[in-house]
Amino acid sequence: MTIQYAVRRFALFLLAISLIAVGVLLSRAWHTATNVTKPVETEVDLGAVTTRIRNLNRLETASMHVVHVSTITQEYKLVPNMFGGDELTLYAAGDVIAGVDLATLHDGDIHRRLDGTVIVHLPSPIVLVTRIDNSETRVVSRKTGLLRRADPGLEGRARLHAEGGVRSEAMRRGILQLAKENAQVRIAELLHAAGVQRVVFEDGTNGTDR
């Protein structure tokens, strides 16, 4: 009885070892198969050349994050879209940064009165940067006709359209006015820190004290 029990325990031990070995082999086989079937992406730099260097005096004073959804469609007049159409819907998110370009200041745009007041005529605010956030932007849907190939440039054109839409929405929401007000506040703070008691920003016939 004792010998049979020992033999049975030894057999169970061998079975457990065999199961573990089979599991390890299956795991390695699965890992190998995954590596074989998974594409390997390699990035190769073919060169980079600096073509222009410029000095910038841009003061960024406002930014907005905008979401834009648009659909771009290609169609033929005599062919139904289910056969010859190509449609792409893009969900895009982007950032718009506005401010003033201090490099456009002219002589006389900043001067001081006899009473010590500093008069500043700032350049008009402009959009400095519009960029699409690739981490948030994605194609929502793509419908291509049965008798044609998908246009590889359609997504690129949709992104350009989305960039313009993001910029337009930011301007509609008043980013330029916000940039102007923030620029005045920041410049006034610098002048006050330098000992100027009063700063007036002139804009045409209007003046704003800061």
pLDDT tens by residue, 169-189: 999 999 999 999 999 999 999
Q: Are residues 176 and 73 in the same domain?
A: yes
Cα 210 from Cα 111, distance rounded (Å): 15
Written as one letter, the residue type at 164 is: G
Cα 137 from Cα 70, distance rounded (Å): 12
> Could you tell me the pLDDT band of residue 131, with boundaries at 50, 70 and 90?
very high
pTM: 0.72
The answer as to whether 117 is a domain residue is yes
The answer as to whether 47 is a domain residue is no
Q: Please give the residue that has the higher pLDDT: either 111 or 210.
A: 111
Q: Are residues 30 and 62 in the same domain?
A: no
Q: How many domains does the chain have?
A: 2
Q: Are residues 182 and 98 in the same domain?
A: yes
Q: Are residues 106 and 164 in the same domain?
A: yes
Give percent above pLDDT 70 in the chain.
80
Q: Are residues 119 and 65 in the same domain?
A: yes
pLDDT at 40 over 80: no
Q: Are residues 62 and 146 in the same domain?
A: yes
**First-to-last C-alpha distance (Å) of the chain:** 102
Q: Please give the residue that has the higher pLDDT: either 190 or 6.
A: 190
The answer as to whether 44 is a domain residue is no
Look up the domain containing 31 and give its range. 1-35
For the purposes of burial, counting CB atoms within 10 Å of the CB of 100, is it exposed (0-12), middle (13-18) or buried (19 or more)? buried
